[in-house]
Amino acid sequence: MESIEGIATYPMISLLIFFVFFALLFWWVFTASKSYIKEVSELPLENDNQSKEEVL
């Protein structure tokens, strides 16, 4: 592996991509509105309630 020129840049690029992705995800989690989080968290329950209403 040491005979390949520039091979050391690939781990640095992957680390940078990893860091940027999780930094953006961290930023999104703390800036998302509470109403949006509540709405999305209730989606599975709404789907379950609709299927029960169709049976009745």
**Among candidate residues 20, 24, 4, the one with its CA nearest the CA of residue 12:** 20
**Among candidate residues 9, 18, 15, the one with its CA nearest the CA of residue 1:** 9
For 1-56, the pLDDT digits (tens) are: 667 788 888 999 999 999 999 999 999 989 988 898 888 888 877 666 565 555 55
- Alpha-carbon distance values, 50 to 6, 16, 46, 47, 53 (Å): 57, 44, 6, 5, 5
Per-residue confidence (pLDDT) for residue 40, from 0 to 100: 86
Q: Containing H/E element for 53?
A: helix 43-55
